[in-house]
């Protein structure tokens, strides 16, 4: 059911008319009735009384059709269960007194999901929580298509988060692979798309969805931390070895080019070994000085 605009009447004139009929008119009628009775016009006095009562009841009925619409709010109108339309005009408004009027907030709202425990693409248990920013775009769908649209938003959002998290790994295993931890922008966009697909039928527009918490589950957190540390150590060692090999090559070329010393293959291999030990060692080396001939 799509929202349709329904025009409403300004409420201030109706309010003044209702107050006149409910308060001022009875006073005038009372004075007129006393005057008519004193002058022997009993029939006219009875007519005045009946007219006043009808006007008073009509004023109360007329006043019951008044309602207020605040900024960023809409009123969904229905008559005996049939949807009539929606008005978003702000201020004091008036419509048929028999219309039922349900107020819907159009303000931007957000909620943070609880920490959900799911398995990532590789089957590793992780904890994930997200913040979803949303607003009501279609008041009629929010009221009539679902029972409680606020609860619907929360439950469907958490279901979409679970589904999305299971399609990505926690960490990338290859270069360029999209992962939960390394690609927050891509993951947030995918999450927003999945949540929006589930909430469209409720007239909800998802403005933003982003991860607020991401971590391995406690039972494997220590093991995964050790794996991450091992990976970092391997990457650092690889970088150190690459740099050391380049420095050794540069040193040998400089010695040969400047003719400082001419080394045979055996001495050249020994020098390379010593330089690599010095450059790649994770602690300070203790040199041994040879005061005699190297041969």
Position 258 in a domain: yes
Domain end among 78, 102, 126: 102
Name the least confident of 41-45, 60-64, 118-122, 154-158: 41-45
Position 290 in a domain: no
User: What's the pLDDT at 284?
Assistant: 64
What's the chain's average pLDDT?
85
User: What's the pLDDT at 292?
Assistant: 56
- Cα gap 26→51, rounded to integer Å: 10
Q: Are residues 67 and 93 in contact, defined by beta-carbon separation less than 8 angstroms? A: yes
What is the per-residue pLDDT across 23-72, written as a single tens digit (0 to 9) for each?
888 888 888 877 777 777 777 778 888 888 888 898 999 999 999 999 99
Q: Are residues 211 and 119 in contact, defined by beta-carbon separation less than 8 angstroms? A: no
Position 130 in a domain: yes
- Cα gap 2→277, rounded to integer Å: 75
H/E stretch holding 139 reads helix 139-144
Claim to verify: residue 184 and residue 238 sit in the same structural domain: no
Name the least confident of 13-27, 150-164, 208-222, 269-283: 269-283
User: What's the pLDDT at 153?
Assistant: 94
70-92 residues labelled b (16+ CB within 10 A) or e (exposed)? eeebbbbbbeeeebbbbbbeeee
Percentage of the chain surpassing pLDDT 90? 43
Position 288 in a domain: no
For residue 191, name the pLDDT band (cuts at 50, 70, 90).
Answer: very high
Position 295 in a domain: no
- Cα gap 286→295, rounded to integer Å: 22
Claim to verify: residue 230 and residue 263 sit in the same structural domain: yes
Domain of 247 in residue numbering reads as 221-280
pLDDT at 218 over 60: yes
Position 3 in a domain: no
Claim to verify: residue 123 and residue 88 sit in the same structural domain: no
- Output 237 or 159, whichever has higher pLDDT: 159
Domain end among 200, 216, 232: 216
Position 291 in a domain: no
Claim to verify: residue 98 and residue 114 sit in the same structural domain: no
Phi and psi angles of residue 123, each rounded to the nearest 5 degrees, phi first: 90, 5
Position 123 in a domain: yes
Claim to verify: residue 127 and residue 186 sit in the same structural domain: yes
- Cα gap 68→92, rounded to integer Å: 5
pTM, to two decimals: 0.69
For residue 295, name the pLDDT band (cuts at 50, 70, 90).
Answer: low
The number of domains in the chain is 3
Domain end among 161, 185, 216: 216
78 has which bridge partners? 83, 100
């Amino acid at each position: 059911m799509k929202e349709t605009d329904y025009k409403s009447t300004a409420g201030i004139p109706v309010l003044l008319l209702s107050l006149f009929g409910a308060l001022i008119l009875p006073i005038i009628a009372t004075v007129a009735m006393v005057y008519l009775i004193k002058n022997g016009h009993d029939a006219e006095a009875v007519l005045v009384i009946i007219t006043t009562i009808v006007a008073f009841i009509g004023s109360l009925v007329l006043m019951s059709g008044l309602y207020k619409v605040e900024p960023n709010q809409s009123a969904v109108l229905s008559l005996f269960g049939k949807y009539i339309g929606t008005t978003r005009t702000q201020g004091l408004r008036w419509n048929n007194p028999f219309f039922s009027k349900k107020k819907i907030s159009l303000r931007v709202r957000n909620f943070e999901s609880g920490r959900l425990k799911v398995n990532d693409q590789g089957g590793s248990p992780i904890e994930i929580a997200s913040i979803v920013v949303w607003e009501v775009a279609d008041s009629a769908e929010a009221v009539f298509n679902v029972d409680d649209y606020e609860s619907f938003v929360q439950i469907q959002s958490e279901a979409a988060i679970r589904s999305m998290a299971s399609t990505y790994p926690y960490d990338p295993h290859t270069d360029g692979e999209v992962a939960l931890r390394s690609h927050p922008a891509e993951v947030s966009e995918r999450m927003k798309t999945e949540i929006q697909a589930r909430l469209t039928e409720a007239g909800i527009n998802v403005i933003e969805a982003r991860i607020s918490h991401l971590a391995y589950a406690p039972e494997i957190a220590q093991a995964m931390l050790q794996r991450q540390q091992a990976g970092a150590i391997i990457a650092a060692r690889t970088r150190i070895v690459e740099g050391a090999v380049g420095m050794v090559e540069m040193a040998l070329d400089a010695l040969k080019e400047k003719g400082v010393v001419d080394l045979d293959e055996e001495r050249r291999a020994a020098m390379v070994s010593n330089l690599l030990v010095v450059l790649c060692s994770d602690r300070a080396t203790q040199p041994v000085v040879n005061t005699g001939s190297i041969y």
